[in-house]
């Protein structure tokens, strides 16, 4: 395994907190993700279902978790089902988890082979009144019409046990997962530390004429070398006007003399993610206008991140961030106070240059689960990412850090990633 496992006590605690929220005499079933295929006999690899990982720590396909806190028999309260290996699998795919290894990782004493799931479930299903089933309930989910392993489990369960009552496991996990344990924060810090190393490496490699994907490759080199699983998302390496497309990630253009690069990137380490954005000049020196725009966004980041503290409602925070950006747009000569005084309040003018939100939860998902109607609390981890995009000038700038909410405010988990203009220019000097 590339990463150091979290201690099983983390997953034991997560299961205990999850079980507290279940109705009496209920069974919870959570399934792993599928391995997604491409063409012929190839696949895109495997990424675990994050709710299942949160409750078990198991990072392997064909896994099922059964929780029945009120089971009459102690052995039925927690059961982990994993894939049984054989000589054919060992030869072609390598080792899978043994039952003993799965026990050590999860802290679950009863581990069964997944082929026995249906038979074992039936032995206790008719004693239970309710089922909690997992599903991807993210507001931005992109599964669309693709049927997942969770979808198949829901269909199967309702067909076999139609008279039970059904509830949403994700309603519980989205609440629990918003508050990170110390161990989870440490994993996010590790992901961030690798991001920081990758960024510094990129600053040493960039020069006029280099391809955007060559800089992406430098990020990939560093994260693989440091034992990360993958990029948290496909990196955005957007030079010049490409930076004005918010989710540009073709990364196939030349980085030209006089342009500024926007690089939005993250690392997934142990299934936990970082998410950071930095901007820097191709030639190592910010132009006067680039410096003005960059400084405006940096002021928004510094002032806006200070607003991330317990009790703050995300909607109110976003409104304050929009106001900060609006002020900077006036300073940059892009808007006037008269324009703002006469604008349509339902279509504010700042949205021409700043069209996205500035904070999202981060953890097992880059855009982690949770309700944005919930005020911020100690233990939450969020990004802050203001931006200004001036298409007519070919300049797009966004700056982003990751923050842990504490009793007294927040801690910047990406503090060591250079962000001041002077530091970036110094690190880009080729003769150092």
Give the tens place of pLDDT for each residue, 270-284: 999 999 999 999 999
Assigned domain for 386 exists:
yes
Report which DSSP code applies to 84.
P
Question: How many domains in the chain?
Answer: 2
pTM of the model: 0.94
**Structure tokens of 406?**
């504490």
Q: What is the pLDDT of residues 405-432, one digit of tens each?
A: 999 999 999 999 999 999 999 999 976 5
DSSP string, 121-135: HHHHHTT-SEEEE--
**pLDDT confidence of 50, banded at 50, 70, 90?**
very high
Tell me: do 172 and 225 sit in the same domain.
Answer: no
If asked whether residues 155 and 188 sit together in one domain, one would say no
Predicted confidence at residue 144, as pLDDT, reads 64
DSSP annotation of 52: H
Say yes or no: 160 and 188 in one domain.
no
Residue 29 phi, psi dihedral angles, 5° rounding: -125, 125
Whether residues 193 and 286 share a domain: the answer is yes
101, 219: one domain? no
Nearest to 414 by CA among 395, 432, 396, 401: 401
Question: Above pLDDT 90, what percent of the chain?
Answer: 88
CATH of the domain at 124: 3.40.350.10
Identify whether residues 172 and 202 lie together within a single domain: no
Q: At what angle do helices 169-176 and 8-20 cross, to 10 degrees?
A: 120
β-bridge pairing 276-281 and 260-265:
antiparallel
What integer best gives the mean pLDDT of the chain?
A: 95
Looking at the domain assignment, is residue 2 inside a domain? no
Domain boundary among the residues 176, 195, 219 is at: 176
Asked if 38 and 101 sit in the same domain, the reply is: yes
Query: Given this model, what pLDDT does residue 365 score?
Result: 96
DSSP 267-314: EEETTEE--EEEEEETTSS--HHHHHHHHHHHHHHHHHHTT--TT--H
Q: Which of 176, 192, 211 is the last residue of a domain?
A: 176
Please give the distance of CA 119 from its chain centroid, rounded to a whole number. 36
Using CA atoms, how far residue 87 sits from 65, 90, 96, 100, 249, in Å, is: 25, 5, 11, 18, 41
β-sheet with 230-231: strand ranges across? 230-231, 267-269, 272-273
Is the same domain home to 186 and 152? no
- Does residue 81 sit in the same domain as residue 115? yes
Q: How far apart are CA 129 and CA 171, in angstroms?
A: 19
State residue 143's pLDDT score.
60
pLDDT in tens, 203-247: 999 999 999 999 999 999 999 999 999 999 999 999 999 999 999
Residue ending a domain, among 119, 152, 176, is 176
138 falls within a domain: yes
CATH number at residue 305: 3.90.230.10
Residue range 69-108, pLDDT digits in tens: 999 999 999 999 999 988 888 888 888 999 999 999 999 9
CA–CA dist 286, 187 (Å, integer)? 34
**Which range marks the domain in which residue 222 is found?**
182-427
Contacts of 232 (CB under 8 A, 6+ apart): 191, 265, 266, 267, 268, 273, 274, 275, 366
Instruction: Report the C-alpha gap between 212 and 387 in whole angstroms.
Output: 20
Distance CA 9, CA 106 (A): 8
Q: What is the pLDDT of residue 37?
A: 80
CA atoms within 13 A on the CB side of 111: 19
Assess whether 142 and 247 both reside in one domain. no
pLDDT value, residue 111: 98
Give me the count of residues in the chain.
432
pLDDT in tens, 160-177: 999 999 999 999 999 999
């Amino acid at each position: 395994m590339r990463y150091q496992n979290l201690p099983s006590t983390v997953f034991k605690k997560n299961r205990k907190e999850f079980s507290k929220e279940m109705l009496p005499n209920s069974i919870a079933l959570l399934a792993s993700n599928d391995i997604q295929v491409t063409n012929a006999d190839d696949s895109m690899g495997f990424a675990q279902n994050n709710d299942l990982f949160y409750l078990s720590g198991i990072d392997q396909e064909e896994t099922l978790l059964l929780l029945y806190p009120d089971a009459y028999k102690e052995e039925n309260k927690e059961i982990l089902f994993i894939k049984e290996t054989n000589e054919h699998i060992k030869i072609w795919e390598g080792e899978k988890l043994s039952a003993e290894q799965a026990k050590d990782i999860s802290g679950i004493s009863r581990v069964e082979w997944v082929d026995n799931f249906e038979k074992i479930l039936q032995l206790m299903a008719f004693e239970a009144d309710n089922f909690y089933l997992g599903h991807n309930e993210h507001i931005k989910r992109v599964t669309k019409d693709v049927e997942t392993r969770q979808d198949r489990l829901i269909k199967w369960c309702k067909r076999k046990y139609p008279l039970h009552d059904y509830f949403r496991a994700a309603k519980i996990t989205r609440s629990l997962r918003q508050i990170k344990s110390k161990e989870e924060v440490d994993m996010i810090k590790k992901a961030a530390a690798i991001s920081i190393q990758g960024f510094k490496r990129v600053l040493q490699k960039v020069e006029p004429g280099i391809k955007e994907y060559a800089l992406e490759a430098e990020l990939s080199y560093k994260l693989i070398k440091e034992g990360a699983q993958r990029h948290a998302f496909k990196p955005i390496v957007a030079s010049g006007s490409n930076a004005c497309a918010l989710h540009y990630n073709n990364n196939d253009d030349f980085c030209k003399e006089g342009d500024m690069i926007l690089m939005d990137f993250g690392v997934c380490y142990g299934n936990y993610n970082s998410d950071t954005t930095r901007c820097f000049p191709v030639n190592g020196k910010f132009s006067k206008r680039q410096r003005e725009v960059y400084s405006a966004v940096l002021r928004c980041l510094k002032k806006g991140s200070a607003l991330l503290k317990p009790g703050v409602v995300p909607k109110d925070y976003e409104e304050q961030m929009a106001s900060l950006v609006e002020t900077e747009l006036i300073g940059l000569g892009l808007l006037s106070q008269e324009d703002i005084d006469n604008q349509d309040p339902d279509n504010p003018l700042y949205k021409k240059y700043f069209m996205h939100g500035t904070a999202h939860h981060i953890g097992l998902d880059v855009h982690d689960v949770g309700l944005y109607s919930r005020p911020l609390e100690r233990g939450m981890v969020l990004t802050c990412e203001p931006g200004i995009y001036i298409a007519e000038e070919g300049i797009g700038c966004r700056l982003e850090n990751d923050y842990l909410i504490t009793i007294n405010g927040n801690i910047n988990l990406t503090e060591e990633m250079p962000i001041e203009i002077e530091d970036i220019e110094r690190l880009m000097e080729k003769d150092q």
